[in-house]
Structure 1
Amino acid sequence: MVGKKSGRALLREEGLERTDNNLDLTTWPQVNMINQKNYYTEFLKRDDQFLAYRAPLEEERSRMVREARDKDRALAQGAPADGAMAVDTEDAVDEAGASITSREDYVSKLIIMHVGSQNLRIGLGTDALPKTTPMVIARKWKENEAEEDGGEPSPKRLKVDGAVPAEAYPEKWFGEDFANQYQTMCSELRTRMRTNKRRVLPNSKELVVNFNRRTPPDIISEHNDINRIDWTEIPANAKNAPEYFTGHEALRIPEASKPRYKLFWPIRNGSFNEKDYTNRNQIYHDMSKIFEEAFRTQLGITKPKDLANYKCVFIIPDLYERVYVTMMLDILIRDLGLGKVCLQQESLSATFGAGYSAACVVDIGAQKTSICCVDEGMCVEESRINLKIGGADVTETFIKMMLFDHFPYAEMNLKRRYDFLLAEELKQKYCTMDESSIIVQTLDFHLRASGQDTRRYQFKTYDETMLSVMGFFKPSIFDHSHKLDGRRKVIPRSVDLYDGSPNDPMSIAQIAVIEAAGGKSAPVNGTQEPVASAAGASTPARAQLNLLNRINDMEGTPKSSVAGSPAPEGTPVPDRDTPALGEADQPLIFRDPVLEKTKAAEERDKVVPAMPLDHAILESLTQGARGEDRKLRDFFGGIMLIGGGSKIPGFGVFLETRLRELRPFYGKEILVGPPPREFDPQVVIWKGGSVFGRLSSSGNDSWISKAEYDILGSRLLSNKCMFAW
């Protein structure tokens, strides 16, 4: 029997005995294991660990150090010798002078930009008013815009009896639908004027048509025209002709120029123009060239390298598209080289310019109308509305109505540059919403075209000047047939980085507008019927209906648990529309939330958001008040009309009357007015951006610097924007 062996003997026999000299096998430092029951990390838990927060603090700290050094240097060079009191006085003087100098330098290096579909308003922080330049670029092309599509004019004339429309049938040029709507609006206006005790002549239309039909123009030679136009000069040698023109020069290029130039408008209906462009880079470069020329001609910044010393407040729409914002930011910082850029929403900027803390801002632009409630320095997200109607629709409809009534200049074509400028001039001069001005009156205008003698036309108008503006309250009279052409063909929509679902901002008010425009619901006294939203969002009434449906549909869940727990994404859900089957035979369907959101966004893109302006304002107010009657009354008393379309005489009074008819219980509270202090409604938004930009940079952490943008790109916007990105 073998005796028991010791542990040392076993180690020796098995070869497991340690024979080294206790030296480490490597000189690399060894880290002990972490006790997972008791450990803590501060990674990304403090603001100073984010570059977006840390960089402004470091910049402010370096600025304070630099100012302190300059102050000490000034004291050392000119320190007085009469005691401490003199030193303190000199210190105060130097400090005040230094602050004033630095403040003036800061404001002089501040640029404010407001981009619209038709005009760009740009200016420095020291300017009282902005400079306005058309948002257009003319490039060399094989044919101009009036020669495309076989020279088809705008507004389009339909053929009469299978032939080219003759001048004897202008009332048939635009189809029966337009003619019926126009005549209906004429009858409604006559009835309204009789109700308001206005004098209405029974043969007013006949007087207008007969006068316009038989009045020839007067010819004025060019040397006798004191208001002749200076056209853009094109070199005789086509090879020396510039590649492009921008702004007013582009609109004054002769139609028959050699070489031909075509106008491109990069912004259309408040977003990128995907109809006239085939490449995203073309839009990018055209926007960059327009901005660069505006800096040079309007602001006097001739050297591109100097832009690194400038800051820019760039104003974006309330209901923006993320691709639009990121592309504009990329143009300003990377392509043009601006030092810092700050983003500001239009309605919030308008309240800065007007000095209001709470208001409902109605901005009527050239091709879009935006409505938004602003409360305590923030745009109410669910109240934002973007209508694709504006002053350009009024211009086109006004010309249609004039041509319908045998306008003497029957060849008017809004695709021609001089005709477009003439139509805008006629609209600004003669369109009104004042019923007392609706009488038969004789007017005139001068037609000036390059290479032609000036022609002076006389014409009569009656109700066309008001009915064209009434399109804001009856948008079916406007032509919406081409507003969605090319949509999402050049620039795809923005999607979420993680699940690929559309992530452009959307509001309940905008969804209600789209549903009404698509025929899913009808406005009832300015509000929408409870209809399930295409995007999954719902108003409180819709939420109550959905909750009741869920309660009624629940069979296996106890009544004490009303909501239940949502199933994970992709979980098979039984189809409730099928008859009851056995558990093994029950058909299952899979719901993909990302696919549903994508389809809903695609359906929304097929509908032109157009709605009567008064109903849209009430929808925005309803969502902005969030059910609070006191807040609703505050918004009713602070409806502010801005934008070029709001300058039509009598427009605010007419809108106020319509709102009081729809909401008689709030008749005393409803107040629609222009901006205070006799501000031009077109520049209030720009002025608000200037006020915001003048705030000290130390208290404003929304500036995006070039160094930060080079590192993080558009990811900075989630930390830099004052609104939900």
Structure 2
Amino acid sequence: MVGKKSEKALRDEGLERTDNSMGLSSWPVITPINQKNYYTDYLKRDDQLLAYRLQNEEARNRMTKTAKDRDRALALGKQEQADTEADGDAVMEDAEEAVEAETAGSKVIVLHLGSQNLRIGLASDALPKTVPMVIARKSTQNESEDGVEPRPKRVKLNEDENEEDIAPEKRFGTEFASQYTKMSADLKTHMRQNKRRMLPNSKEMVVNYNRRTVPELIPEHNDPSRVEWTEFSNPPPEYITGQRALRIPDDSTPRYKLSWPIRNGWCNEKDYTNARLLFVDISLILEDAIKRELGLTSKKDWPQYSCVFVIPDLYERSYVTTILEMLMKEFSFARVCFIQESLAAAFGAGYTSACIVDIGAQKTSICCVEEGMCVENSRINLKYGGFDVTETFIKMMLFDHFPYAEINLNRRYDFLLAEELKKNVCTMNEGSVSVQVFDFHLRVSGQDTRKYTFKAYDEVHLAPMGYFQPSIFSHDDKLQGRRKLLPRSYDIYDGQPNDPTSAAQSEILKIIAPPLPAELLAEDEKSHSNATDVQATPARSHLNALGRVQDSEATPRSSVAGSPAPETNTPLNGIAAAAAGNSTPVPGEKASQPAVAPAAGASQPSQASQPLQQPPPQPPRTPTIEERDDILPIYPLDQAILASITHAARSDDKKMRDYLGGIMVVGGGSQINGFHAYLEERLHALTPTFTKEIMIGSPPRDLDAQVVVWKGASVFGKLDGTNDSWIGRLEYDRLGSRLLVYKCMWAY
């Protein structure tokens, strides 16, 4: 046994201790935490968030100011006056609250952007102002002269054919003709079952009358309803917005070309070549509307106003963040808050639980609202609306020898004429389906007014029936340019899409989805075969997320010094956006292949001598149904309503009955005579077990269905004391669009 050596022996061996027992550093030593059991409350309490802190500070400052005012009054000897006015404190407080509410309502601007119209007004107004969502810019040609096909689109002619030589029945192709004929035959069968009286030769009467009728010329000075066309100043303006843009003569000097920034509920990526120009046009339309319709001509006054902005139920994050930046920076509003369309409609109607069906000009949204919240899995967005009915009605009338055969919806006066005809003629009441004579006046700048007379039979009913048979609508150009300017928003940590999804919408997309391209299916099968390899290393979710963070360009990189690699390589699954021809880079595309264990008996180099090699890239996985941009959500309206209610009820029979009994239809596309009764009849046929519960309601208090959403947003804007959704300027300057996570009433 070796004993302890003496100091002399240690000194002889050179092992003597020579330090002075002082520490190597003056920095305090931090004891490592126990990795098995530790806890932090960082960002887990409301008082740690800036949005809540500022709100509490404001309330605390208000209480402090009130206390100081009271103490100052007592110090100045106003005790007797305070005692005398004690009895009237309640009345004074009510009066002050009323004045504050009135002031808040008159200082809040409510905006509801649609594909065709903009609703704008103050929260204190009874009804909004309606402005067409269009802008006209100087150009060498207008929108009907730059080589665009006339609308409705006719079949392409051969070189040796003239348009006059083709019969109207063949101008829209055989597919439309067969669908139109089948719908007409089904309507006749249904009318016979309901004992409706009908003439056997109704179609022949309509065609023969329309074929021989000629227009009647009316001099402009004898036309009491002549149109006031837009006159230009000198020099002509660079752009014109709203109703004045639609009244610019097509042959004006200089020429103006119309642009619609919002189409089908999306940003119009088809007609624009620059995303910045698209949002500049939106801001110009809003700016002119605020100045003309609200009388706020000076931009210096705008920082005193707040803004409530209505967004779709299934919104796109890039659109919301850009609009927020526009309202806060360009318009300099004091506060901004967002509200969803269906929730705003429920506010406007005063319903706590309902199924909201909003039929707009080019978009139809369906969502169930329960206790002031949108049920997320019930949200559905369909890409058709009132304009599709207008186009289909004109196409059917041209099929039956419409006397004004040159109609083109790309021309401004023809577009307004077609909208007027749809409102006056179309109906969904089968009792009104008969051979009837109608007339209209065609007013063109610089020409005499022409009065046309025509007959119509079942076209007035079959055109709005396209809501329930949407294949009759034209959907050729609705997906053109999709994701060309505004790429999909992805999470920087896990690479998943940020835009909200819905189980009901996903179910509809799966039903109507076209098959994937063959090359993408082959890559998917190959990736699945690699994933099932028994020698492949399984993926770990936390390592997978970490790898995406490092590969994302939007995330700051780590330091230059390398970190020790994990024990296993992790596959980073990229998102295949090539299904719709999308070439937008997606976080996670720089993927690595899982490491494969070497074969038994193979020589393995040492860890020190083995060079670092980059694993081969992994093929992109098949995109989910929500990530595919080649699917246009088109589905019959009655079946879509049932799908939304089914996902909202979640097999609860009581909720199912409540939603079926609280269906409210809003929007301008629903203002067709007999639409509510026909929709109720279709729902009865689909759900015979709930026949007694189904009820289609209209907005209460005789409120116009087009302004219900705006009215609800104005009510929401007046809830200043209980509304925590306002985004202030100080908060936005510090946190930007990240505030939406804390400020929105729904899961943003």
Range into which the TM-score falls when normalised by the shorter chain: 0.7 to 0.9
| 8 Å contact from structure 1 (residues 501, 597) kept in 2 | no
Superposed displacement of residue 119, structure 1? 0.6
Contact 1:11 1:17 in 2 (8 A): no
Q: Which residue of 660, 663, 668 corresponds with 1:636?
A: 660
Q: Distance in 1 between matches of 2:514 and 2:203?
A: 34
What is the match of residue 400 of structure 1? 395
Gaps of 5+ in 1: 522-533, 535-553, 557-563, 574-581
Opposite residue 57 of structure 1, the aligned amino acid is: N
For the residue of structure 2 that corresponds to 1:132, the secondary structure is strand
1:474-499, Cα deviation, whole Å (9 max, x unpaired) = 11100001000000011111111113
Over residues 255-295 of structure 1, what are the superposed CA-to-partner deviations in whole Å (9 max), with x where a residue is unaligned? 11111111111111101000010001001101111111111
Would you say the 8 A contact 1:442–1:460 is kept in 2? yes
**Cα offset, 1:517, TM superposition:** 2.2
Partner of 1:596, secondary structure, is coil
Please say if residues 510 and 625 of structure 2, whose CA atoms lie closer than 8 Å, have aligned partners that are also in contact: no
Paired residues for 1:578-597 under 5 Å? 595-596=620-621
2:157 is the counterpart of 1:192: no
Which residue number in structure 2 is paired with residue 539 of structure 1?
A: none
Q: Which string of whole-angstrom CA distances, capped at 9 and with x for unpartnered residues, describes residues 500-536 of structure 1?
A: 3322111121112112222579xxxxxxxxxxxx9xx
Structure 1 stretch displaced more, 67-76 or 210-219: 67-76
Question: In the alignment, is the contact (CA less than 8 A) between 1:501 and 1:594 conserved in 2?
Answer: no
TM-superposition CA deviations, 1:563-616 (whole Å, max 9, x none)? x9999858689xxxxxxxx9969xxxx9999943746445x3101110111111
Give the C-alpha shift of residue 106 in structure 1. Answer: 1.2
Tell me the CA shift for residue 65 of structure 1: 3.9
Conservation of the 8 A alpha-carbon contact between 2:571 and 2:618 = no
Q: Which residue of 2 aligns with 1:298?
A: 293
Counterpart residue identity of residue 727, structure 2: I
> Could you say if the C-alpha distance between residues 515 and 599 of structure 1 is closer, same or farther in structure 2, counting changes exceeding 3 Å?
closer
Q: Distance in 1 between matches of 2:12 and 2:370?
A: 85
CA contact (8 A) 1:122 1:130 kept: yes
The match for 1:667 among 670, 676, 691 is 691
Q: Check conservation: 1:636, 1:670, Cα contact below 8 A.
A: yes
Q: Which residue of 1 aligns with 2:471?
A: 476
From 244, 250, 266, the equivalent of 1:249 is 244
Which deviates further from its counterpart, 91-100 or 117-126?
91-100
Alpha-carbon deviation of 1:7? Answer: 11
Q: 2:152 corresponds to which residue?
A: 155
1:538 aligns with none
The answer on 1:467 being equivalent to 2:462 is yes
TM-aligned CA deviation for residue 103 of structure 1: 2.1
Identical amino acids, percent of aligned pairs: 56
Deviations 1:537-562 (A, max 9, x none): xxxxxxxxxxxxxxxxx999xxxxxx
In 2, the alpha carbon distance for the partners of 1:591 and 1:441 equals: 71
> Aligned in 2, Cα 1:13/1:593: closer, same or farther, shift over 3 Å?
closer
TM superposition shift of 1:254? 0.8
What does residue 289 of structure 1 align with? 284
What's 1:320 paired with?
Answer: 315
Would the alpha carbon gap of residues 394 and 13 (structure 1) be closer, same or farther in structure 2, given more than 3 Å must change? closer
Q: Does 1:714 align with 2:737?
A: yes
Distance, in Å, in 2 between the alignment partners of 1:367 and 1:391 is 6
| Pair 30,160 (structure 1): closer, same or farther in 2 beyond 3 Å | closer
Match of residue 542 from structure 1: none
- Counterpart residue type for residue 596 of structure 1: R
CA drift of 1:186 comes to 0.7
- Please give the alpha-carbon distance, in whole angstroms, between the structure 2 residues aligned to 1:56 and 1:597: 45
2 CA distance for matches of 1:675 and 1:81?
53
Which deviations, in whole Å up to 9, do the C-alpha atoms of 1:654-692 show, x marking residues without a partner? Answer: 011011111111111111121222221111111111111
- CA deviation after TM superposition for structure 1 residue 94, in Å: 4.3
**1:616-638 alpha-carbon deviations (Å, 9 max, x no partner):** 11111111111111111111111
Q: Secondary structure at the match of 1:88?
A: coil
Alpha-carbon distance in structure 2 between the residues aligned to 1:443 and 1:686: 34
Matched with 2:592 is none
Aligned: 1:258 with 2:225:
no
Gap change, CA 1:310 and 1:75, over 3 Å in 2: farther
Residue of structure 2 aligned with 1:649, choices 662, 673, 688:
673
Counterparts of 2:702 and 2:385 in 1: how far apart (Å)?
23
Partner letter of residue 387 of structure 1?
A: L
The alpha-carbon deviation at position 432 of structure 1 amounts to 0.5
Give the aligned partner of residue 484 of structure 2. Answer: 489
Tell me if the contact between 1:111 and 1:312 (Cα under 8 Å) persists in the aligned partners: yes
Is 1:117 the equivalent of 2:142?
no
TM-score of the aligned structures, taking structure 2 as reference length:
0.82
Q: 1:35 to 1:714 in 2, by over 3 A?
A: same
Correspondence 1:221-236 to 2 at 5 A: 221-235=219-233
- CA RMSD for the aligned pairs? 3.4
One of 429, 437, 442 as aligned partner of 1:434: 429
Q: For residue 392 of structure 1, what is the amino acid of its counterpart?
A: F
Evaluate the alpha carbon distance shift between residue 164 and residue 695 of structure 1 in structure 2; reply closer, same or farther with a 3 A threshold: same
Partner of 1:362: 357
Partner of 2:563: none
The aligned amino acid for 2:150 is P
Could you list the per-position Cα deviations for residues 209-229 of structure 1 after superposition, in whole angstroms to 9, with x for gaps in the alignment? Answer: 111111111111111111111
Q: Is the Cα–Cα contact under 8 Å of residues 506 and 626 in structure 2 kept in the other structure?
A: no
Change (3 A) 1:88 1:618: same
**1:269 maps to what in 2?**
264
Mapping of 1:499-648 within 5 angstroms?
A: 499-518=494-513, 595-596=620-621, 598=623, 600-602=625-627, 604-648=628-672
Offset of 1:127 from its aligned partner? 0.5
Distance 2:618 2:337 in 1: 34
Rounded to whole Å, the distance in 1 between the matches of 2:675 and 2:702 is: 16
- 1:375-386 to structure 2, matched below 5 A, reads 375-386=370-381
Do the aligned partners of 1:344 and 1:689 also contact (CA within 8 Å) in 2?
yes
1:705 aligns with 2:728: yes
User: What do the CA deviations read for 1:234-259 (whole angstroms, capped 9, x no partner)?
Assistant: 24x5xx11111111011111111111
Shift in CA distance, 425/68, structure 1 to aligned 2, threshold 3 Å: farther
Q: Deviations over 1:377-429 (max 9, x none)?
A: 11111111100010010000000011111111111110000100010000011
Q: Kindly tell me: are residues 385 and 593 of structure 1, through their superposed partners in 2, closer, same or farther at Cα, counting changes over 3 Å?
A: farther
- Report if the CA contact (8 A) 1:157-1:165 is conserved: no
Q: Give the CA deviation at 1:170.
A: 1.3
Q: SS where residue 632 of structure 1 aligns?
A: helix
Residue 60 of structure 1, CA deviation: 2.8
Equivalent residue, structure 2, for 1:561: none
Partner of 1:447: 442
Q: Give the conservation status (yes or no) of the 8 Å contact 1:367–1:389.
A: yes
CA contact (8 A) 2:73 2:79 kept: no
**Separation (CA, whole Å) in 1 of partners of 2:635 and 2:79:** 76
**What is the rounded CA distance, in whole Å, between the counterparts of 2:127 and 2:13 in structure 1?**
94
**2:239 paired with 1:211:** no
Aligned to 1:693: 717
Structure 2 CA distance for aligned equivalents of residues 471 and 671 of structure 1: 22
- Residues 475 and 584 of structure 1: CA distance in aligned 2, closer, same or farther (over 3 Å): farther
Match of residue 593 from structure 2: none
* Counterparts of 1:195 and 1:599, CA distance in 2: 45
| Distance apart, 1:128 and its partner CA | 0.8
Cα distance in 1 for residues equivalent to 2:81 and 2:325: 56
**Residue equivalent to 1:416:** 411
Is 1:371 the counterpart of 2:366? The answer is: yes
Q: Matched residues in 2 for 1:126 and 1:572: separation?
A: 57
Tell me which amino acid in the other structure corresponds to 1:446: H
Shift of 1:365: 0.5
Kindly provide the CA deviation profile for residues 107-148 of structure 1, in whole angstroms up to 9, marking residues without a partner as x: 111111111110111111110111111111111112110112
Quick one: structure 1 residues 612 and 592, their matched pair in 2 at CA, closer, same or farther if it must change by over 3 Å? farther
CA contact (8 A) 1:499 1:594 kept: no
Aligned 8 A contact 1:508 1:623 in 2: yes
- Secondary structure in 2 matching 1:139: strand
Tell me the SS of whatever aligns to 2:33: coil
